[in-house]
Chain A
Amino acid sequence: MSSISLEVKDLAINLSGNQVIKDMNFKIKKNTLTTFLGPSGSGKTTVLRAIAGLNQKIAGKILLDDTEIQNLAANQRNIGMIFQSYALFPNLSVFENVAYGLRVRKEPKATIKEKVDAILKTVNLQDKEQSYPENLSGGQKQRVAIARAMVLEPKILLLDEPLSALDAKIRIELRNQIREYQQRLGITMLFVTHDQAEAMAISDEIIVMDNGKVQQQGSPLEIYTHPQNIFIAKFIGNHNILDAAQLRSLGVELAENDKSNFIIRPELFQISITGDSSDYMAVSGKVKNISILGDRFEYRFITENGLELKVEFLNQQQAFMIETAITFYVKKDNIERVGI
């Protein structure tokens, strides 16, 4: 049996005459949480809707468990979806919301009761089954939406920015909750977000999208540490991006015809070296600005030749004062070459 749950081949989507998705290809493994990450307008939701069958004017193939589904209507795909607004039906109780799909499938009443009770217990909402959506908190609504989707045992669950309307603290709580259910129930999830931290925190894999194309697919760590191009480097992290000339000006030897771009992650700077000094690039200059981010300090640092670099340290020691003259070190191996 294949380990791939969903495969998208040469997907192209036109909306109002504009090709918003171009030759897209990716695979999603079973029982993993994969995140579509990209800025607004990058095409994340468009692809998600195409997978769900809500946008059928597409070219290319969508395979779910090795079966082509691109020509099936939304109600024939056995895919679950959670919308940003959760789309709970306000006129139905929690029980009836969760039972909706089972009733559509004309399952026997006893089976419906048994399945709904079981899934409500799983999401800790057994005492809310007679409540209506208007009387639930944001977290409870989300759990009802998950239960409603999961009770049908879909082959994949799509989540379209389900946390974007919430404040920061609740977002963290709910994203952890989503991850917990994904792992506990062993669901394949495809999660859409524009929030890098959210994607990094809960994903097994991230698919970075921009301008209707997949820019990179990989584990969160892989994408963060080895971004394939400048867009990803800028979008996924707070990296320092330098061209070859700038890096040469800091004393790194490069071939004369080298036109590459390089990234240096701000947290990789050190204030002292261990081992061979020739392994390090030393950068001297002054602290221009400091931002206290709670757990760490972020410095804007001006080098002697006028380059501005971002440097981060954990909040474990006294912060450097503005205008402090200092030398930072970074291992040459940690200077990453990226494509354009």
Chain B
Amino acid sequence: MEKHIDRIIAKIVITLISIYLAAPIVATIMYSFAKSWVNTILPDGWTFEWYLQLITNSDFLSALARSIILGFVTTIIAMCCFLPVVFYANVYDESIKAKLRFITVLPFTIPGIVLVTGLVRVYANLPVPQMLVLLLAISLLSLPVTYQALDNAFIAHDFRAMFEQALILGDSPIKAFVKVVIPNIRVGMFIAMLLTFTNAFGEYVLTNIILGGNYETLKIYMYRLMQSNGQASSVLTTVYFFFLAIISIIMIAIMKWQGSKKAEEVEDTKKL
């Protein structure tokens, strides 16, 4: 009987929390489709007008393009910087992994504003383009997620032996890396790239302070829009929400696929 009551209480609590979390999202989505929603429980009618307005707005399209460029370039920089390091740590010198782990949590412990102030002061008098400073800073901020995703990719196989085997079979180190290592960590790399991309795509603090109005990304545009047009801003929020949801679904699907593949491998091995 007591157990039954506990279960009911747990269900009520979970339902309330779910409603609390889902209500703003549902309201924002509804608001983005509402013709008008003032002093009524539900909107007066539904429309796609705000969406049409948004996708034909040149400011929005420019901001979207900037965010995508920022995301892509940051992802490329992060991969070029971190992938060789993670490879080296996993294949040749596991002892540096503890130090790497410490470094990767630093972006969590240093607040963005402190990082930006430091970067601006260091590079203010140097002939380094502000855009480059921003790209490197965002790449660094994505380090915790990028490192973890890449590091996990190296667990599955004996990469040292595979890499050295490719050398013995006649390949150069770079070709061996490209032909043997990369194809076998592609799933982990893809997840790391998605995480780095979404991190950079949604970045606000660094971009706003370092480049400010000179480089209006989607997030900065979103904040500007919130102050002038609530409905357009809810449309943008909805679009942004679904964009992130799709990326999350892709990642979950990949992880599930990997899990089922591993289970199949275990079954196959048992059969042999």
Q: Which residues of A contact B (CB under 8 A)?
A: 52-54, 73-75, 77, 79-81, 83-91, 100-101, 104-105, 134-137, 140, 148, 152
When chains A and B are docked, how far (Å) is the Cα of A80 from the Cα of B167? 10
Closest-CB distance, A29 to chain B (whole angstroms): 22
**Nearest chain-B residue to A136 (Cβ)?**
B272
**Nearest chain-A residue to B183 (Cβ)?**
A91
Closest-CB distance, B21 to chain A (whole angstroms): 41
Q: Is B132 an interface position by the 8 A CB rule? A: no
Q: Tell whether, in the assembled complex, residue A83 and residue B164 are in contact, meaning their CB atoms are under 8 Å apart.
A: yes
Q: Tell whether, in the assembled complex, residue B158 and residue A87 are in contact, meaning their CB atoms are under 8 Å apart.
A: yes
- Specify which chain B residues have a CB less than 8 angstroms from the CB of A137 in the assembled complex: 269, 272
Q: Tell whether, in the assembled complex, residue A90 and residue B168 are in contact, meaning their CB atoms are under 8 Å apart.
A: no
- Specify which chain B residues have a CB less than 8 angstroms from the CB of A85 in the assembled complex: 158, 161
* Main SS at interface, chain B: helix
Q: Tell whether, in the assembled complex, residue B272 and residue A74 are in contact, meaning their CB atoms are under 8 Å apart.
A: no
Q: Tell whether, in the assembled complex, residue B162 and residue A87 are in contact, meaning their CB atoms are under 8 Å apart.
A: yes
Q: Is B170 an interface position by the 8 A CB rule? A: yes
- Specify which chain A residues have a CB less than 8 angstroms from the CB of B165 in the assembled complex: 81, 83, 87, 89
Q: Tell whether, in the assembled complex, residue B184 and residue A90 are in contact, meaning their CB atoms are under 8 Å apart.
A: yes
- Specify which chain B residues have a CB less than 8 angstroms from the CB of A100 in the assembled complex: 166, 169
When chains A and B are docked, how far (Å) is the Cα of A264 from the Cα of B45? 101
- Specify which chain A residues have a CB less than 8 angstroms from the CB of B158 in the assembled complex: 83, 85, 87
- Beyond A54-B164, A75-B169, A91-B184, list 12 extra A-B contacts (CB 8 Å): A54-B168, A74-B164, A81-B168, A83-B161, A84-B161, A85-B158, A88-B162, A89-B180, A90-B184, A100-B166, A134-B265, A148-B169
Closest-CB distance, B264 to chain A (whole angstroms): 9
26 contacts between A and B (CB under 8 A): A53-B167, A54-B167, A73-B167, A74-B164, A74-B168, A75-B168, A75-B169, A75-B171, A77-B168, A81-B168, A83-B161, A83-B165, A84-B161, A85-B158, A87-B158, A87-B165, A88-B162, A89-B184, A90-B157, A90-B184, A100-B166, A104-B175, A105-B170, A136-B272, A137-B272, A152-B169
Q: Is B2 an interface position by the 8 A CB rule? A: no
- Specify which chain B residues have a CB less than 8 angstroms from the CB of A77 in the assembled complex: 168
From known contacts A85-B158, A90-B184, A135-B268, infer whether A75 and B172 are also in contact, taking CB-CB under 8 Å.
Answer: yes
Q: Tell whether, in the assembled complex, residue A89 and residue B162 are in contact, meaning their CB atoms are under 8 Å apart.
A: yes
From known contacts A80-B168, A152-B169, infer whether A87 and B161 are also in contact, taking CB-CB under 8 Å.
Answer: yes
Given B172, B180, B268, which contacts A134 in the complex, CB threshold below 8 Å?
B268
Q: Tell whether, in the assembled complex, residue B268 and residue A104 are in contact, meaning their CB atoms are under 8 Å apart.
A: no
- Specify which chain B residues have a CB less than 8 angstroms from the CB of A140 in the assembled complex: 272
When chains A and B are docked, how far (Å) is the Cα of A135 from the Cα of B167? 25
- Specify which chain B residues have a CB less than 8 angstroms from the CB of A84 in the assembled complex: 161
Given B164, B170, B183, which contacts A104 in the complex, CB threshold below 8 Å?
B170
- Specify which chain A residues have a CB less than 8 angstroms from the CB of B268 in the assembled complex: 134-135
List B residues 232-272 near A (Cβ within 8 Å): 265, 268-269, 272
When chains A and B are docked, how far (Å) is the Cα of A238 from the Cα of B23? 77
Q: Tell whether, in the assembled complex, residue A79 and residue B168 are in contact, meaning their CB atoms are under 8 Å apart.
A: yes
- Specify which chain B residues have a CB less than 8 angstroms from the CB of A79 in the assembled complex: 168
When chains A and B are docked, how far (Å) is the Cα of A89 from the Cα of B175? 14
When chains A and B are docked, how far (Å) is the Cα of A220 from the Cα of B162? 32
Given A74, A86, A90, A134, which contacts B167 in the complex, CB threshold below 8 Å?
A74
Shortest beta-carbon contacts, A-B, top 5: A87-B161, A101-B169, A104-B170, A137-B272, A87-B165
List B residues 112-165 near A (Cβ within 8 Å): 157-158, 161-162, 164-165
- Specify which chain A residues have a CB less than 8 angstroms from the CB of B269 in the assembled complex: 137
Q: Tell whether, in the assembled complex, residue A87 and residue B164 are in contact, meaning their CB atoms are under 8 Å apart.
A: yes
Closest-CB distance, A270 to chain B (whole angstroms): 47
When chains A and B are docked, how far (Å) is the Cα of A34 from the Cα of B171? 27
Closest-CB distance, B187 to chain A (whole angstroms): 11
- Specify which chain A residues have a CB less than 8 angstroms from the CB of B167 in the assembled complex: 53-54, 73-75
Closest-CB distance, B265 to chain A (whole angstroms): 5
When chains A and B are docked, how far (Å) is the Cα of A137 from the Cα of B158? 17
- Specify which chain B residues have a CB less than 8 angstroms from the CB of A87 in the assembled complex: 158, 161-162, 164-165
Closest-CB distance, B175 to chain A (whole angstroms): 8
Chain B 16-48: CB-based contact to A (< 8 A → 1; otherwise 0): 000000000000000000000000000000000
Residue from A83, A87, A152 whose CB has the most chain B CB atoms within 10 Å = A87
Q: Tell whether, in the assembled complex, residue B170 and residue A75 are in contact, meaning their CB atoms are under 8 Å apart.
A: yes
